[in-house]
Amino acid sequence: MLSERRQRILQAVIEEYVQNAMPVASKTLMKNYGLGVSSATIRNELSVLEGDGYIVQPHTSAGRIPTDYGYRTFVDDLLASGLPRVDADSARLVSELRESARELDELMERTSQVLARMTDCLSLVIPPSALSLHLKQINLVLMAPTRVLMVIVTESARVMNRAIELSREVTIEELSSFEGFLNQVFAGKNFQEMRVQLESAKDAILADPIIQVLVQELFSCLKDNEAAHAHKLGISSLVSQPEFNQSENILPVLKAVEDGSVVVGALKTTQEGGVSVSIGHENDHESLSNVSVVAARYGRGEGAGVIAVIGPTRMPYSRVISAIQVVQHQLNDL
């Protein structure tokens, strides 16, 4: 347990290093942070913090930089003491996004843009599982006498579609009847509820081969859209950080983002309603040992979506966590 003075000095080291990405000297702390103690006392406290593993001196004559353990202590104190609110303009912007986006994919993309802008880091916004979404409406559009376009709209404004080849020609009147049947049986239900309803409507479905095909394609479309598509923005912000000015440092991180390692790790560490912070070597994937991942789930149940921000361990944790919480709040009822 750190004393109050050592906590303040550690916080000052972290804030200075986050801002400037340069080892922090005792003279800088004395000059910029009003710690109320002598330079000699600051040097002594820095030596103690170093000995306890909170900071490290990268070169003999250099200042100190935080370790993963130091960042962890700082973040735990942040989460325990409460975070400052995100500025009103950012909160209002996220709220307006929710109201103005026409479709779920558009909302995810624009939310990722705002999150990247608010944090100056790489942001990922992953939509809820398609199998957890409740259907709002199923539309059937006749493209040709034997070809139909099925358009599926969920209650969260996600849109999926499927081109279907039929075994015989159908009229617009027949198609309207099929559309009405599908909506009567499946609208308002998620995938699991639809499977239960399928059993109840089995006789009516089996009675017409066209309805059988349409139901099969409806279920297949939902399954095919189950693979989460991450909306990511802010790669340029990540690459511009001094920690990643060499390609060998950034490429493993980008690969972990592309192959889903970041998402898998975020799903393992986040709990409903909370925010998780994985710092450097706390991440499961070795390629993420130089970054921190701040993540949260939104929505409910196993099909919840994920918001994540990836940045150097020298990230502005207070701002990032607050931004994640604002976005989580706006997306929680999807």
Q: Contact at 8 Å (CB) between 69 and 280?
A: no
Q: Give residue 6's pLDDT.
A: 94
- 82-to-54, 78, 318, 321 alpha-carbon distances in Å: 22, 6, 9, 10
| pTM given for the model | 0.73
Q: Give residue 330's pLDDT.
A: 80
User: What tokens does 113 get?
Assistant: 């843009």
Q: Give residue 227's pLDDT.
A: 55
Q: Give residue 186's pLDDT.
A: 94
In angstroms, the CA 321 to CA 115 distance is: 11
Q: Give residue 129's pLDDT.
A: 72
Three-state SS at 224:
helix
334 residues of the chain, pLDDT tens digit each = 789 999 999 999 999 999 999 999 999 999 999 898 998 999 999 999 999 999 999 887 779 999 999 999 999 988 887 765 666 666 676 667 666 666 667 778 888 888 888 888 999 888 777 667 789 999 999 999 999 999 999 887 778 899 999 999 999 999 999 999 999 999 999 888 998 998 888 888 888 999 999 999 999 988 887 655 677 888 888 888 888 887 788 888 888 887 777 766 776 777 766 889 999 999 888 888 899 999 998 876 656 788 899 999 999 999 999 889 888 888 876 6
In angstroms, the CA 253 to CA 19 distance is: 22
Three-state SS at 280:
helix
Q: Contact at 8 Å (CB) between 333 and 132?
A: no
Across the strands, what pairs with 309? Answer: 123, 294
Q: Give residue 169's pLDDT.
A: 94
In angstroms, the CA 94 to CA 172 distance is: 42
Q: Give residue 81's pLDDT.
A: 78
Across the strands, what pairs with 298? Answer: 305
Three-state SS at 144:
strand
Q: Give residue 110's pLDDT.
A: 82
Three-state SS at 84:
coil
- Residue length, the chain? 334
